[in-house]
Amino acid sequence: MHSKTSPPEPGPRDPGNRQDFLPSNPPQLLPDPAFGAPDAGGSSLGERLYRSAVMAVLVIDRVEDAVPLARALIDGGIDCMELTLRTPAALEALAAIRREAPQMLAGVGTILTPAQVEQAQEAGAEYGLAPGLNPRVVQAAQARGLPFAPGVATPSELESALELGCRLLKFFPAEPCGGLPFLDAMAGPYAHLDCRFVPLGGITAEQIKTYLQHPLIWMIGGSWIAPRRLIQEQNWKAITTRAAEAHRLALEIRNSHHAQ
């Protein structure tokens, strides 16, 4: 199903200051065809997400906040986002980030309809996520070639996602559901199918290390890095500080893990 990979070269969007993440190569290819195919730079999207390790979940109210926000995150070392489709400004904010902060891995979240799959992709989404599993949405993403991680929180949802061919899954809402012990127990019977998870929902910086050292976890994230209030206040400095802390913690665990 999967094979060992040689260390991937940095992709074209990898900024020079991210050399610190290069030892953190995925232990194996992600067996999800949507996330697994190498891009023009030789890295797959799955590998780039793995190296990013932490995804900032964003709710953007004003388009003009989008680019300074993306730059504040990148300055702190976070180059991966789930920009949620929960505000009227979301799609325009996405397009602005793609244009002016292209090193940001541009994921879109809260994709709830097939029409939103199309809108997100047209605005520049590189991948999509959703809080739940809607087969129509997953199939629309597959038909358009948009890598997609649906949300799962039960074994039945996990089976439906696997049946649809998904292997990278959002575990949501991670902490209220029981966090890592719950995920470990739920995913146990499916471990041989090589799915991997992005836990989101209720996670904070304190939990980064515990999650990232578990073999089921591809990356983690949440809104604590750039809470809506700090975005509304345009407090870019505070967001960079939070991003830098998340990046530092992720780096520590990934480097120690891969050194073993």
Looking only at the bridges linking them, the beta strands covering 54-58 and 220-222 are: parallel
Question: What angle is formed at CA 48 by the lines to CA 86 and CA 176, rounded to 5 degrees?
Answer: 45
In whole angstroms, how close is the CB of 51 to ligand 3PG at the nearest point? 21
Number of residues that bind ligand 3PG (CB under 6 A): 11
The question of whether 237 is a catalytic residue gets the answer no
Residue 202 binding ligand 3PG, by CB under 6 A: yes
Per the annotation, the verdict on 170 as an active-site residue is: yes
Near ligand 3PG in 56-85, by CB under 6 A: 57
**To the nearest whole angstrom, how small is the minimum distance from the Cβ of residue 109 to ligand 3PG?**
5
SS3 112: coil
Under the binding rule (CB under 6 A), the answer on residue 200 touching ligand 3PG is yes
Beta pairing partners, 181: none
Edge-to-edge, what's the strand order for the sheet holding 151-152? 151-152, 168-171, 196-199
Using CB under 6 A as the binding rule, whether residue 172 contacts ligand 3PG is answered as yes
Q: Is 164 exposed, middle or buried (0-12, 13-18, 19+ CB in 10 A)?
A: middle
Nearer to ligand 3PG, 11 or 150 (CB): 150
- Residue 131 beta carbon to ligand 3PG: minimum distance, rounded to whole angstroms: 5
Active-site residue (options: 170, 209, 233, 252): 170
Q: Toward ligand 3PG, which CB reaches closer, 76 or 131? A: 131
For residue 186, what are the contacts with CB-CB under 8 A and spacing of at least 6? 154, 155, 158
Residue nearest ligand 3PG, Cβ-based: 222
Task: Find the angle CA(102)-CA(99)-CA(76) to the nearest 5 degrees.
Answer: 40
Q: Is 109 in the site for ligand 3PG (CB under 6 A)?
A: yes
Q: Does 11 bind ligand 3PG (CB under 6 A)?
A: no
Q: Which stretch binds ligand 3PG (CB under 6 A): 3-11, 115-123, 140-148, 198-206?
A: 198-206
Closest CA to 18 of 71, 77, 80, 69: 77
- Shortest distance, position 2 Cβ to ligand 3PG, whole Å: 27
Residues forming a β-bridge with 169: 197
* Residues annotated as catalytic (active site), given as ranges: 82, 170
